[in-house]
Amino acid sequence: MFKIRSEADAVTERSPAYAILAIDSEDRFKSYVESRAATGTSYNNSPYDFQINKNESMMNGFFTRLALTEVCFPWTVPNVNVQTQDILVTYVIGANPPVGATITLDVGFYKPADLAAAIQAKVRALDIALVGFQMAYGSDLILGGARKSPNFFYNCPGGGYTISFEPLLYNSAAYPYPSTTKQLFDILGFSDDNTDLDDQGVGQSTFCQAVRYIDIVCNQLTYNQALKDTMSQSIARDTLCRLYIGDGPYTGTSTVDPSDPLFCPPGCAPFVIYRQYTNPKFIRWLPNQPVQGNLPFQVYDDNGQILTNIVGFDGSENWSMTLLVSED
């Protein structure tokens, strides 16, 4: 026998009530006068390592959790930067002894085809005997372009010389960075196979990205979470979000052939990353605790270093994000 429910038995369901906590890296300065005066290594100059300072609490109220739901991050970190602009080249002409040289590219954004052309020009300038050296991306120089793949190919047509490429020595005067740092050698997709002298070579598949993702960190906003974040990096840290350097979470297949000079994977040109998370990370919060007015933020790359180490303090765009704070 069925029981007819009365109106008193009805249960009303509704979405939780939220407040917005909006963060903008530009707000680390109190005015544009202060912003213009921030140069070099001055305090709070970098949008990748800064602290918001307010005389009062950022937010008060009996809320129980918060979540980052929206990020707008202009990507102005060039794939050829102070850590990825150098590569060692060794060549042998005829019966002569090996000659070693360091190739240095100008810092900037390079599409794969531009990168191949720049290295080709630098190698040719080393010696008149190398004037025929060829490097290309996405087009197999050995097979006449029959193989279309995201690899760098190089060739020494005419013979008479061989060539090899090597990374710089880590923690040296020429390259004072640890072995966890990506070099130009790695951006080209090169491996130990390319360190052997040969008249031709090919690298592994690569999209020429210096950074594949970043982690946005604010320890003051995550320290209440009982379950800590972890990651496959050697150093794990609690994060507000991991932002992948790509066109979007549902990026379609590119219609541009890798051998096309216009082929430009994400990270090879400046663009704006916008993400709205449908499933954000919810962070536990103690209801009797305010969000303090002094909030430090750091942005780490996929090598675990702050982005400032790559781009320095100049030419960095401000970024912003939105957090929802739940009252229920």
Looking at residue 50, which CATH number applies to its domain?
2.60.120
Specify whether 253 is located in the same domain as 306.
Answer: yes
- Quote the pLDDT of residue 142: 66
Task: Let me know whether 241 and 189 are in one domain.
Answer: no
Residues 104 and 154 in one domain: yes
Q: What pLDDT, on a 0 to 100 scale, did the predictor assign at position 63?
A: 86
- C-alpha 307 chain-centroid distance: 8
- In angstroms, the CA 164 to CA 290 distance is 59
> At which of 202, 223, 255 does a domain end?
202
Q: 219 and 124 in one domain?
A: no
In this predicted structure, what is the pLDDT of residue 249? 45
Q: Are residues 69 and 217 in the same domain?
A: yes
Q: Which amino acid is at 237?
A: R
Burial level of 11, CB count in 10 A (0-12/13-18/19+)?
Answer: exposed
Whether residues 48 and 90 fall in one domain: no
Same domain membership, residue 181 and residue 219: no
What are the 10-residue block averages of pLDDT along the chain, 328 residues in total? Answer: 57 73 92 81 84 88 88 94 96 95 96 97 96 91 69 90 97 94 97 95 95 93 80 81 74 72 92 90 87 91 90 76 88
Kindly state whether residues 218 and 261 are assigned to the same domain: yes
Residue 193: inside a domain: yes
Identify the pLDDT of residue 290.
86
Q: Which helix or strand (DSSP H or E) is residue 311 part of?
A: helix 308-311
2 falls within a domain: no
Whether residue 99 sits in one domain with residue 60: no
CA separation for the pair 11, 231 (Å, rounded):
41
- Do 170 and 238 belong to one domain? no
Residue 299, beta-bridge partner list: 216
As a whole number of angstroms, the distance between CA 267 and CA 171 comes to: 26
- The boundaries of the domain holding residue 127 are 86-202
In a shared domain, residues 42 and 125: no
Using the 3D structure, point to which of 171, 202, 233 is the last residue of a domain.
202
pLDDT attached to residue 315: 52
Is the CB of residue 240 less than 8 Å from the CB of residue 222? yes
Instruction: Report how far residue 204's alpha carbon sits from residue 188's, in angstroms, rounded to the nearest whole number.
Output: 8
Domains in the chain: how many in total? 2
Q: What integer pLDDT is reported at residue 313 of this predicted model? A: 59
Last residue of a domain, one of 174, 202, 230: 202
CA atoms within 13 A on the CB side of 311: 25
| 272: in domain | yes
Q: Is 5 inside any structural domain? A: no
Among 125, 192, 130, CA closest to 156: 130
Q: Name the token pair of 144.
A: 């006449």
CA distance 118 to 125: 11
Q: Are residues 220 and 320 in the same domain?
A: yes
